Chains A and B, each alone.
Chain A
Amino acid sequence: MSHIKLLSAVALSALLLLVGCGKKEGEAVGVVGDEILVGEFGSMTGNEATFGISTHQGIELAIEEINAAGGVKGKKIKLISLDDQGKPEEAVTAATKLITQDNVIALLGEVASSRSLAAAPIAQQYKIPMLSPSSTNQKVTEVGDYIFRVCFIDPFQGTVMAKFAHDHLNVKKVAVIYDVKSDYSVGLAKFFKETFTGLGGEIIAEQTYSGNDIDFKAQLTSIKTVKPEAIFIPGYYTEVGLLARQARGLGIEVPLLGGDGWDSSKLYEIGQEAIMGGYFSNHYTTDSDDPRVRQFMEAFKNKYTVFPDGLAAMGYDAAKVLADAIERSESLTPEGIRNALATTKGFAGVTGVITMDENRNPTKSAVVVQVAGTTNKYVTTIQPL
Chain B
Amino acid sequence: MEEFLQHVINGVSLGSIYALIALGYTMVYGILQLINFAHSDVYMVGAFVGFYAARFLNIADSPSYTSFFTILLIAMAGCALLGFSIERFAYRPLRNAPRLNVLITAIGVSLFLEYTGQVVFGATPQLFPNILEDSIIFSFGGARVTKMDATILVTAVGLMIVLRHIIQNTLLGKAMRATSFNRHWASLMGISVDRIISMTFIIGSALAGAGAVLVGMKYPKIEPLMGVMIGLKAFVAAVLGGIGNIPGAVLGGLVIGIAEEFVVGYISSTYRDALAFSILIVILLFRPAGLLGRFSVEKV
Contact = CB atoms under 8 A, between A and B. Distances in A.
Contacts of B265: 218-219, 221-222
B134 A215 contact: no
Contacts of B134: 249
Given A47-B223, A210-B272, A219-B265, A251 B142 contact: yes
Contact of A224 (B123, B142, B215, B273): B142
A250 B269 contact: no
A238 interface: yes
B83 to A, nearest CB: 21
A219 B122 contact: no
Contacts of A85: 123
Interface in B89-123: 107, 111, 114, 118, 122-123
A222 B266 contact: yes
Interface in B1-55: 2-3, 6-7, 10, 14
Contacts of A219: 264-265, 269
Given A1-B232, A221-B265, A224-B142, A210 B3 contact: no
Nearest to B257: A215
A242 B262 contact: no
Interface in A154-210: 180, 207-210
Contacts of A3: 111, 114, 228
Nearest to B3: A225
B222 to A, nearest CB: 10
Contacts of A46: 123-124
Given A210-B269, A213-B269, A47 B125 contact: yes
Nearest to B110: A3
A85 B278 CA distance: 31
Contact of B127 (A218, A251, A269): A269
Interface in B194-227: 215, 219-221, 223
A218 B125 contact: no
Interface in A289-314: none
A26 to B, nearest CB: 41
11 contacts: A45-B122, A207-B269, A209-B269, A210-B272, A213-B269, A215-B219, A218-B260, A219-B265, A222-B3, A242-B219, A270-B127
Interface of A: 1-3, 45-47, 49-50, 85, 180, 207-210, 212-215, 217-219, 221-222, 224-225, 238, 241-242, 245, 249-251, 266, 269-270, 272
B182 interface: no
A217 B17 CA distance: 15
Given A222-B3, A270-B127, 5 more contacts: A46-B123, A215-B10, A218-B263, A221-B265, A249-B148
Nearest to B17: A215
Interface of B: 2-3, 6-7, 10, 14, 107, 111, 114, 118, 122-125, 127, 130, 134, 136, 139, 142, 144, 146, 148, 215, 219-221, 223, 228-229, 232, 260-266, 268-270, 272-273
B223 A218 contact: no
B224 to A, nearest CB: 11
A225 B124 contact: no
Contacts of B229: 212
B270 A225 contact: no
Counting chain B CB atoms within 10 Å of each CB, the highest count among A212, A218, A250, A251 belongs to: A218
A52 to B, nearest CB: 10
A180 B123 contact: no
A238 B125 contact: yes
Given A45-B122, A45-B123, A251-B144, A217 B10 contact: yes
B7 A249 contact: no
Contacts of A250: 6, 144
A213 B221 CA distance: 10
B54 to A, nearest CB: 15
Nearest to A239: B221
Given A210-B269, A221-B10, A49 B124 contact: yes
Contacts of B111: 3
**Most B C-beta atoms less than 10 A away, residue of A219, A221, A224, A249:** A221
Contact of B221 (A49, A209, A214, A218): A214
A220 to B, nearest CB: 9
A238 B226 CA distance: 13
A225 B269 contact: no
Contact of B261 (A47, A217, A245, A266): A217
A213 B226 CA distance: 10
Contacts of B263: 218
A10 to B, nearest CB: 13
Contacts of B146: 249
A49 B123 contact: yes
Given A218-B7, A219-B264, A213 B272 contact: yes
Please list the 5 inter-chain residue pairs (A to B) with the smallest Cβ-Cβ separation, ordered nearest first.
A218-B264, A214-B219, A218-B265, A217-B10, A45-B123
A219 B273 CA distance: 15
Contacts of B270: 180, 208, 210
B21 to A, nearest CB: 14
A50 B60 CA distance: 22
B14 A215 contact: yes
Contact of B10 (A47, A50, A218): A218
Contacts of A225: 2-3, 142
A219 B10 CA distance: 11
Contacts of A272: 130
A217 B6 CA distance: 9
A165 B44 CA distance: 40
Nearest to B149: A249
Contacts of A224: 3, 6, 142
A285 to B, nearest CB: 25
Contacts of B220: 242, 245, 270
A320 B95 CA distance: 63
